[in-house]
Amino acid sequence: MSGGHSLFERWRGRAAPAEEPVPQPADVPAVGLQLWLDGSARVLRLAGPLRSVLALPTQAGVRLHDYVQPYSLLVLEGEPPDWQGQPLELDFKAAGGRTLHTRGWLLAQSGGWLLQLFDIGDLLQHRQQALAAERQQHLTAHLACALRTCTIERLQVVAEEQLNWLVRHWRARGARVLVQTDQGWQTYACSGDALHWPRDEQLAPVLDRQLPASMISSATEPGLQDLLPGLSTYLLAYAQGQVNQAWLICVEPQEVLQALDALLVAAAFVEPLLGRLAAHQLDQQSERLDSLQLQLGAGWWQWRLDEPQLHLDPALAESLGIPPALTVNQWLSRVHPADREATQLAFGDLQRQGCAVQLNLRLLDHNAQAQPRWYRVCGQVHGSGGNRRVQGFMLDISDIKTQQLQASAAQARLENLIASSPAVIYVQRYHEGALLSEFFSASLEPLLGWQPRADEPLQPGQWLHPDDQPLWLERTRILLREGSSRSRYRLRDHQGGYHWVLDEARLLRDDLGLPVEVVGIWLDVSEATAAAEKVRQSEERYRVLVEDSPAMICRYRPDLSLVFGNQPLADYLECSPAQLAGLNLGQWLSEAQRQAFVERLAGLTPEQPVSNAEICLQLPGREHAWWVWSDRGLFDEHGQLQEIQAVGRDNTQVRRTQQQLLQSAKMATLGEMATGLAHEINQPLNVMRMAVVNALKRLENGEVQVDYLQDKLKRIDAQVLRASKVVDHMRVFGRRSEVEQQLFAPWQAVEGALSLLADGLRGKGVELRVQPPEHDAQVTGHQDQLEQVLINLLVNARDALLARREQQRDVQPWIALGLECDARQVRLLVEDNGGGIEPRLLERIFEPFFTTKPVGVGTGLGLSVSYGIVDTMGGCLSVENGELGARFCIELPRAQIIS
């Protein structure tokens, strides 16, 4: 129990130390530090040279734990027996607050323990220095590698990333890198946006007065303290030679910056940065130089005078199609033969005298078909003795040479033109507000007979016609005021005659806008002036003719807007001639007439510029007016219709007379058909009468049946409808025709004519052979007028057939009607077997008042009117004799229907 109690007390560290004998010193060398401990780690005795540096506790009965630093207590866990057999590294509290670093081991002694320790401070210091150096090397390598390996586009981004990393490493508030540029010190990368950084121009005076390769703190540099007050700031310089190239500014670092280490870090950051920037700038300059040389077709060349080879800029050699290195003879072979001798002489002078060379030569292109190119070759000798070399530059001057040649040719042409021109070119010098004649071209003598003389300048004012002197003075004032003038006056020749000249002059000024000279030209326009006078007189006669003409004369554009109209046209339109301009002819035309008018104008061409037509207008206060209209188109150089000149006359009275004639012919036709039409009406009346008589008889006999009466009444109704159709068609046929033509199917006119004549023809024994078409086309005109033509042809055929049957009783008369059509025309055919027409009468068959019928029977207008009707519709009525009789053909243009 006593042993266990003693162990418990020792663990608790509270038991009073037992009276143990102090161990006697053994044969221990007096080096380092020796501590004798009891079983509870209480220090019994100290020895060794290091004992004097320890900070000794003041209390009694202290343990080893009271001598060491707190973090060394982890090594002293447990009791001394637990520490045996392992090296112990203990840091003791030394005097002055310092630390004594030791390493040793625990040895068992009789009655206790001996702790033998040695000073390892130097060893730890070397280790820390090595670790610091390794850390510094890693830091600089990391910075330099990151800046060297990134692309030039990301260089600034990577520089700011590495600067932020450096700020975290130094535990600083911020950092900034400034580099020297052409504009002075400029910030390239910055970290610590929360800081109120001074501007670059504020930092420049501080940075310019610092020595190269130095580290300055804010404590030693007043300027920094003013710019960054209250902050611990360091300036780290990077210099090349004796000039600072960059500065790294670090604000409030938590670590103590050693000057050498900090400058090395700054160099590791700035050196690759400046190297990359310089290389990029050099690359840009090289690219700009290459681009400039490529655009100019230029490049360098070099020749060591003691060597046979020339060396050319690779890009220049490639453009010339030659190798970059070639002999002088090979080079001369590419020179144009006309320039080869001059080049040989210049190169010979280079070798003998070493003088500079400047010559223009042509080089043959590697493409044999290409034109030689002009080059400006410059070179100068450098060095001396056997090290002489020629360095030069070649510039493509082909464009300049071409412009020079073109300018020379243009000047030669201009001089030749001036010498041979019928116009007179003159120059007048400006002097104190006056224009003095200095030059006249050689064409002055052929024009006016005056010869320029050097001793006495010619004065054009002396040759002026007296009436034109004010024009000459006004011309001078306009020139000086506006800079150009155009005038016309008369000049006297040496024989006393006068010539009309057109004077066009321009005032030339210098860079300050002051007048220098006048350049002008005289053009003899005497003949043109005389011709213009004749034209004016002719135009006056034409104007009188147009204004006094009874015809309507006008000019209008393709959109039918009037440009000019004479008095008769204005009278017809009930306005003044001045009001005609701008009016549109289409406002007096119907839509169909306007469309036909525009289509007719669209058909005008430079080869066929004239068209004629009859147009119908709805004029104010009149029902309709008809004009015979003639157009002539005026075209530009591209064949585009620009304007139309038109002449018209009123055809209204003629047109109305024609309409009355047509109506008279129509009524005459109805008169001739009166007998047949009476039969057409009487026949249904007879049928109705018989039906009524039969019905009444049945009623009287009482034999009335509903079915019988219904049948009779239906027959009466059908006959009433038949008579009604005949009367209605007679009424429609007898009306006046519409004013404007309409679209209709020609077979409808055939059916209308047959409705009036078919029963009458059959009643007289004439067979109708009608062949209806499968597909009917459409034409433009009046259906009732075409029906009138068909009726005339059918009546004439009927009369011819009946006359022949009276002579030949066995003849079976017939009339055939048919329709044929193609893509362009529609043909109506009327043929009979009446024996035909006397051949000598065929030529006169369509003449007015010509008839083969007895006197009092025919008017002789039927076929003449029919021919006019078909012609008005744009068609043709013709006749020929067939095998059995006459064959009439009505040809009409097929209407083009636009869907």
User: Three-state secondary structure along 320-331?
Assistant: HCCCCEEEHHHH
Which stretch, 5-19, 111-125, 490-504, has highest mean pLDDT? Answer: 490-504
Q: How many CA atoms lie within 13 Å of 758's alpha carbon, on the beta-carbon side?
A: 13
Q: What is the pLDDT of residues 579-627, one digit of tens each?
A: 888 888 888 888 888 888 888 888 889 888 888 888 887 776 666 777 8
Asked if 745 and 712 sit in the same domain, the reply is: yes
Q: Is residue 291 part of a domain?
A: no
Q: Is residue 298 part of a domain?
A: no
Beta-sheet strand order (sheet of 243-251) = 184-191, 174-181, 243-251, 233-240, 215-217
Give the distance, in angstroms, between the CA of residue 444 and the centroid of all CA atoms in the same chain: 52
Nearest-angstrom CA–CA distance, 249 and 187: 11
Instruction: Report the percentage of the chain scoring pLDDT > 90.
Output: 3
Nearest-angstrom CA–CA distance, 100 and 93: 6
pLDDT at 773 over 70: yes
The two beta strands, 641-650 and 625-635, are antiparallel
Q: What is the pLDDT of residues 24-54, one digit of tens each?
A: 444 556 678 888 888 888 888 888 888 888 8
Query: Where does the pLDDT of residue 455 fall: very low under 50, low under 70, confident under 90, or very high at 90 and above?
Result: low
- The neighbour count for residue 184, using CB atoms within 10 Å, is 13
Asked if 89 and 34 sit in the same domain, the reply is: yes
* Three-state secondary structure string covering 728-771: HHHHHHHCCCCCCCEEECHHHHHHHHHHHHHHHHHHCCCEEEEE
Contact 805, 834 (CB under 8 A): no
Q: What CATH number is attached to the domain comprising 268? A: 3.30.450.40
Q: Which of 255, 284, 313 is the last residue of a domain?
A: 284
Q: Which long-range contacts (CB under 8 A, 24 or more apart) does 102-109 make?
A: 102/32, 102/33, 102/50, 104/32, 104/33, 106/80, 108/84, 109/23, 109/26, 109/36
Q: Mapping DSSP to helix (H, G, I), strand (E, B) and coil, where does residue 465 land?
A: coil
Q: What is the pLDDT of residues 715-751, one digit of tens each?
A: 776 666 666 666 655 555 555 555 467 888 888 888 8
pLDDT at 311 over 50: yes
Asked if 572 and 596 sit in the same domain, the reply is: yes
Give the containing element (helix H, strand E) for 357: strand 357-363
pLDDT at 854 over 70: no
Range of the domain at 108: 2-119
Give the containing element (helix H, strand E) for 610: strand 610-617
Cα 609 to Cα 128, 586, 633, 638, 645, distances in angstroms: 112, 21, 5, 14, 10
Number of structural domains the chain divides into: 6
Angle between helices 706-734 and 674-701 (to 10 degrees): 160
Q: What is the pLDDT of residues 595-608, one digit of tens each?
A: 888 888 888 898 88
Task: Using CA atoms of 447, 453, 454, 460 in order, give the dihedral in degrees to the nearest 10.
Answer: -60
Asked if 568 and 709 sit in the same domain, the reply is: no
Q: Is residue 542 part of a domain?
A: no
pLDDT at 183 over 90: no
Give residue 368's pLDDT: 67
Asked if 645 and 667 sit in the same domain, the reply is: no
Q: Is residue 412 part of a domain?
A: no
Asked if 389 and 452 sit in the same domain, the reply is: no
Comparing CA positions, the residue from 898, 775, 777 lying closest to residue 826 is: 777
Give residue 21's pLDDT: 45
Query: Where does the pLDDT of residue 11 fall: very low under 50, low under 70, confident under 90, or very high at 90 and above?
Result: very low
Cα 30 to Cα 26, 56, 88, 628, distances in angstroms: 11, 19, 19, 153
Give residue 517's pLDDT: 92
Mean pLDDT of the chain: 79
Give the containing element (helix H, strand E) for 659: helix 652-672
- The neighbour count for residue 34, using CB atoms within 10 Å, is 22
Give residue 484's pLDDT: 92
Nearest-angstrom CA–CA distance, 891 and 132: 120
Asked if 177 and 87 sit in the same domain, the reply is: no
The mean pLDDT of 819-829, rounded to a whole number, is 88
Q: What is the pLDDT of residues 388-399, one digit of tens each?
A: 888 888 888 888
Nearest-angstrom CA–CA distance, 515 and 693: 122
Asked if 227 and 252 sit in the same domain, the reply is: yes
Strand partners, 251: 174, 233
* Three-state secondary structure string covering 532-570: HHHHHHHHHHHHHHHHHCCCEEEEECCCCEEEEECHHHH
Nearest-angstrom CA–CA distance, 800 and 544: 59
Q: What CATH number is attached to the domain comprising 712? A: 3.30.565.10
Query: Where does the pLDDT of residue 858 fall: very low under 50, low under 70, confident under 90, or very high at 90 and above?
Result: low
Contact 325, 316 (CB under 8 A): no
From 77-81, 294-298, 738-742, the region with the lowest mean pLDDT: 738-742
pLDDT at 133 over 70: no
Q: Is residue 324 part of a domain?
A: yes
Assign residue 21 a region: left if phi > 0, alpha if psi is -120 to 50, beta otherwise? beta
Q: Which of 249, 284, 319 is the last residue of a domain?
A: 284
pLDDT at 889 over 90: yes
CB proximity list for 181: less than 8 A, separation 6 or greater: none
Q: Is residue 809 part of a domain?
A: yes
Report H helices in 222-367.
222-227, 259-296, 314-320, 328-333, 337-353
Query: Where does the pLDDT of residue 268 fall: very low under 50, low under 70, confident under 90, or very high at 90 and above?
Result: confident
Asked if 232 and 351 sit in the same domain, the reply is: no
Q: What CATH number is attached to the domain comprising 83? A: 3.30.450.20
The mean pLDDT of 351-377, rounded to a whole number, is 81
- The neighbour count for residue 374, using CB atoms within 10 Å, is 22
Contact 76, 84 (CB under 8 A): no
Query: Where does the pLDDT of residue 505 fall: very low under 50, low under 70, confident under 90, or very high at 90 and above?
Result: very high
Q: Which of 365, 396, 427 is the last residue of a domain?
A: 396
The two beta strands, 215-217 and 233-240, are antiparallel
Cα 776 to Cα 493, 744, 772, 826, distances in angstroms: 83, 10, 9, 9
Contact 300, 314 (CB under 8 A): no
Asked if 738 and 849 sit in the same domain, the reply is: yes
Give residue 229's pLDDT: 83
Comparing CA positions, the residue from 648, 667, 519, 498 lying closest to residue 571 is: 648
Nearest-angstrom CA–CA distance, 79 and 13: 11
Asked if 727 and 814 sit in the same domain, the reply is: yes
Q: Mapping DSSP to helix (H, G, I), strand (E, B) and coil, where does residue 367 land?
A: coil
Q: Is residue 404 part of a domain?
A: no
Q: Is residue 246 part of a domain?
A: yes
Asked if 170 and 49 sit in the same domain, the reply is: no
